[in-house]
Amino acid sequence: MSWVSDYRYTWLESTTMQVLRACGHIPHHVAFVMDGNRRFARSQQIDKIEGHSRGFAKLADCLRWCLDIGVREVTTFAFSIENFKRSSEEVEGLFNLAREKFARLLEETERLNEHGIRIRIIGNIGLLPQDLQKLVATAMLSTEQNDKLFLNVAFAYTSRDEITQAVETVLRHSSDDLRPEDINERLMEECLYTRHSPPPDLVFRTSGETRLSDFMMWQLSTSVLYFSNVLWPQITFWHFLASILAYQRDRWQLDDFRRSERLQSLQLAKSHDFYSERMQKFLAIIDEDRRKLLVRLAAN
Ligand code: FPP
Ligand code: MG
Divide the 300 residues of the chain into consecutive groups of 10 and give the mean pLDDT of each group. 92 97 96 98 98 98 96 98 98 98 95 94 98 98 96 98 97 87 90 96 98 97 96 98 96 85 84 82 94 96
Among protein residues, the one with the nearest Cα to ligand 1's atom 6 is: 78
CA atoms lying within 13 Å on the CB side of residue 254: 18
Asked whether 2 and 60 are in contact (CB, 8 A), the reply is yes
What's residue 253's pLDDT? 84
Query: Is 35 touching ligand 1 by the criterion CB < 6 Å?
Result: yes
CB 84 within 8 A of CB 39: no
Measure 80 CA to ligand 1 centroid, in angstroms. Answer: 9
Nearest Cα neighbor of 79 from 42, 129, 39 is: 129
Q: What is the 3-state secondary structure (H, E, C) of the chain?
A: CCCCCCCCCCHHHHHHHHHHHHHCCCCCEEEEECCCHHHHHHHHCCCHHHHHHHHHHHHHHHHHHHHHHCCCEEEEEEEEHHHHHCCHHHHHHHHHHHHHHHHHHHHCHHHHHHHCEEEEEECCHHHCCHHHHHHHHHHHHHCCCCCCEEEEEEEEECHHHHHHHHHHHHHHHCCCCCCHHHCCHHHHHHCCCCCCCCCCCEEEECCCCCCCCCCCCCCCCCCEEEECCCCHHHCCHHHHHHHHHHHHHHHHHHHHHHHHHHHHHHHHHHHCCCCCHHHHHHHHHHHHHHHHHHHHHHHC
Would you state the pLDDT for residue 199? Answer: 95
What pLDDT is attached to residue 178? 86
Q: How many angstroms separate the alpha carbon of residue 53 from the centre of ligand 1?
A: 9
| Structural domains of the chain in order of their starting residue, each with its CATH number | 11-158+198-259 (3.40.1180.10)
Q: By alpha-carbon position, which residue is closest to atom 5 of ligand 1?
A: 79
Instruction: Report the C-alpha gap between 94 and 56 in whole angstroms.
Output: 11
Give me the count of residues in the chain.
300
Instruction: Name 31's Cβ contacts closer than 8 Å, sequence gap at least 6.
Output: 74, 75, 76, 77, 200, 202, 203, 204, 215, 216, 220, 223
Query: According to the model, what pLDDT value does residue 241 have?
Result: 98
Which mutation among 4, 34, 75 tests ligand 1's pocket best, with the greatest number of atoms within 8 A of CB?
34
Which residues are known to be catalytic?
Answer: 35, 52, 149
Task: Quote the CA–CA distance of 161 and 217 in Å, as a whole number.
Answer: 11
For ligand 1, whether the C-beta of 34 sits within 6 Å is: yes
56 lines ligand 1 (CB under 6 A): yes
Q: Is 207 in the pocket of ligand 1 (CB under 6 A)?
A: yes
Q: Cα of 165 to ligand 2 centre, how many Å?
A: 25
Q: Is 139 in the pocket of ligand 1 (CB under 6 A)?
A: no
Q: What pLDDT does residue 269 have?
A: 80
pTM: 0.95
**Ligand (nearest to CA of 86):** 1
Angle, in degrees to the nearest 10, between helices 37-44 and 48-69: 120
Cα three-residue angle 68-73-75, rounded to 5 degrees: 115
Contact between 28 and 71 (Cβ < 8 Å): yes
| CA quadruple 106, 110, 115, 118: dihedral, nearest 10 | 40
Close Cβ partners of 268 (under 8 Å, ≥ 6 residues apart)? 184, 185, 186, 274
